[in-house]
């Protein structure tokens, strides 16, 4: 390993000059600076981050905690975080909490001391756990809000409203809304959106269905309940759920969008993947990750301790093939097998 000492020896200066020449070039004579630079290049000197971090009391690393890396939602957020962090000179420790709040708490505790700050995607964790995390490290929440903790999230209420508005415009008179995990933050924001839509449109019937897993299987399970409500359109909790819905419907011979329209949420890459691309509520997920890094970087700037900012990113509707005009006749419930 090449150290400042090696560079100093080759350049014929002291280690302090080397350090300065590299960190604050203007405080060193041009000729000296050039010699140091040359020596450093020749030797392939790279500062040891552990050492400078030890000295400076920071690590230049941040931690990102997500519930599931295989969920395309978090994959995109991670991608955004990663790109912006690189630009900001921060390394990113990524950990997958396996959708387990306990594991997540452990990870936060072990990650906190070895990073300058944490980015948390914690849809299920309760407020107390999040506050505890915020007490251990600088924390920025992603798609979650807790009083006093900086956060970036999507305007889910508005997104939900947009989706319902869209379905109403297509002539749907009854819309089923499939719920996500009960205690999840975005589930509650979505409920706000439903409430607002219900208040605005008295010609529209919105039926909320109980909690289903925010994965393909959840949608698969919710499909029958959705159809049984007599709704001609279904709003899923996310894109994966929407795909599960479509699949179960197809299995029952119910066509999307001819018989039933389906709307997803998040516009993850899977929305455009299926044979019938999903109409969905879009959020800039990479942008969300990038913004979270910006917030954290601000917090880390020495002397900065601003009031916990809350950024709310807009939601917009992306119309694709999975929604169409409401059918003239309701889908008949298939006869119960004898």
Partner DNA sequence: TTGTAGGCGTTATCAT
Partner DNA sequence: ATGATAACGCCTACAA
Closest CA to 15 of 26, 7, 23: 7
Structure tokens at 14: 């002291």
Specify the residue, 96 or 161, whose C-beta has the smaller distance to a second copy.
96
Cα angle at 160 between 196 and 279, to 5 degrees? 145
Give the ranges where the chain is alpha helix by DSSP (H): 4-11, 15-23, 30-43, 49-56, 72-87, 101-111, 127-136, 156-169, 185-200, 216-228, 239-251, 285-300
Q: Does 22 bind a second copy (CB under 8 A)?
A: no
The residue within the footprint of a second copy, chosen from 170, 250, 311, 319 (CB under 8 A), is 250
Least CB distance to a second copy at residue 273 (A): 5
Q: Does 46 bind a second copy (CB under 8 A)?
A: yes
Least CB distance to DNA at residue 56 (A): 6
Confirm if 34 and 13 have CB atoms less than 8 A apart.
Answer: no
Least CB distance to a second copy at residue 313 (A): 18
Q: Does 19 bind a second copy (CB under 8 A)?
A: no
Closest CA to 270 of 234, 290, 242: 242
Containing H/E element for 95?
strand 91-96
Confirm if 123 and 183 have CB atoms less than 8 A apart.
Answer: no
Confirm if 311 and 295 have CB atoms less than 8 A apart.
Answer: yes
Q: Does 61 bind a second copy (CB under 8 A)?
A: yes
The residue within the footprint of a second copy, chosen from 27, 41, 135, 269 (CB under 8 A), is 269
Q: How far apart (Å, rounded) are the C-alpha atoms in residues 3 and 98?
A: 40
Confirm if 116 and 62 have CB atoms less than 8 A apart.
Answer: yes
Q: Does 184 bind a second copy (CB under 8 A)?
A: no
Least CB distance to a second copy at residue 193 (A): 26
Q: How far apart (Å, rounded) are the C-alpha atoms in residues 272 and 160?
A: 19
| Contact positions with a second copy (CB under 8 A) in 111-170 | 111, 113-114
Least CB distance to DNA at residue 31 (A): 7
Other CB atoms within 10 Å distance of the CB of residue 179:
21
Specify the residue, 23 or 87, whose C-beta has the smaller distance to DNA.
23
Report phi then psi at 35, rounded to 5.
Answer: -65, -45
Q: Does 72 bind a second copy (CB under 8 A)?
A: yes
The interface partner of residue 238, options being DNA, a second copy, none and the CB cut-off 5 to 8 Å by kind, is: none
Question: Any idea which residue has 């059918």 for tokens?
Answer: 327
The interface partner of residue 23, options being DNA, a second copy, none and the CB cut-off 5 to 8 Å by kind, is: DNA
The interface partner of residue 270, options being a second copy, DNA, none and the CB cut-off 5 to 8 Å by kind, is: a second copy
Other CB atoms within 10 Å distance of the CB of residue 181:
17
The interface partner of residue 79, options being a second copy, DNA, none and the CB cut-off 5 to 8 Å by kind, is: a second copy
The residue within the footprint of a second copy, chosen from 34, 93, 310, 313 (CB under 8 A), is 93
Question: Any idea which residue has 């997540």 for tokens?
Answer: 104
Least CB distance to a second copy at residue 214 (A): 14
| Contact positions with a second copy (CB under 8 A) in 210-229 | 216
Least CB distance to DNA at residue 315 (A): 43
Containing H/E element for 205?
strand 205-211
Specify the residue, 50 or 335, whose C-beta has the smaller distance to a second copy.
50
Which residues of this chain interact with a second copy, rule CB under 8 A? 1, 46, 48-51, 53-54, 57, 59, 61, 68-70, 72, 75-76, 78-79, 82-83, 86, 91-96, 98, 107, 110-111, 113-114, 216, 240, 243, 246-247, 250, 269-270, 272-276
């Amino acid at each position: 390993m090449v150290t400042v000492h090696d560079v100093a020896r080759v350049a014929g200066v002291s280690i302090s000059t080397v350090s300065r020449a590299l960190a604050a070039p203007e405080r060193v004579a041009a000729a000296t600076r050039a010699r140091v630079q040359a020596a450093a290049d020749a030797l392939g000197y790279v500062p040891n981050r552990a050492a400078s971090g030890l000295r400076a009391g920071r690590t230049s690393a941040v931690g990102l905690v997500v519930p599931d890396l295989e969920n395309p939602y978090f994959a995109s957020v991670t991608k955004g975080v990663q790109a912006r962090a690189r630009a900001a000179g921060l390394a990113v420790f990524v950990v997958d909490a396996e959708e387990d709040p306990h594991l997540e708490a452990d990870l936060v505790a072990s990650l906190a001391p070895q990073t300058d700050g944490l980015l948390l995607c914690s849809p299920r964790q309760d407020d107390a756990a999040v506050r505890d995390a915020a007490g251990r490290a600088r924390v920025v929440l992603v798609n979650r809000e807790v009083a006093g903790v900086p956060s970036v999230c999507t305007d889910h209420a508005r997104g939900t409203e947009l989706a319902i508005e869209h379905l109403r415009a297509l002539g749907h008179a009854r819309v089923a809304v499939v719920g996500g995990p009960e205690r999840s933050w975005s589930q509650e924001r979505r409920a706000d959106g439903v409430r607002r839509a219900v208040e605005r449109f008295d010609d529209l019937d919105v039926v909320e269905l109980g909690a289903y897993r925010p994965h393909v299987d959840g949608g698969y399970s919710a499909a029958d309940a959705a159809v049984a409500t007599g709704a001609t359109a279904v709003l899923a909790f996310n894109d994966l759920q929407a795909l599960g819905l479509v699949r179960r419907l197809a299995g029952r011979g119910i066509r999307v969008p001819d018989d039933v329209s389906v709307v997803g949420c998040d516009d993850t890459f899977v929305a455009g993947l299926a044979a019938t691309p999903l109409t969905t509520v879009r959020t800039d997920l990479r942008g969300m990750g990038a913004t979270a890094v910006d917030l954290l970087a601000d917090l880390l700037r020495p002397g900065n301790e601003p009031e916990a900012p809350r950024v709310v990113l807009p939601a917009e509707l992306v119309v694709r093939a999975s929604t169409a005009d409401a059918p003239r006749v309701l889908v008949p419930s298939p006869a119960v097998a004898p």
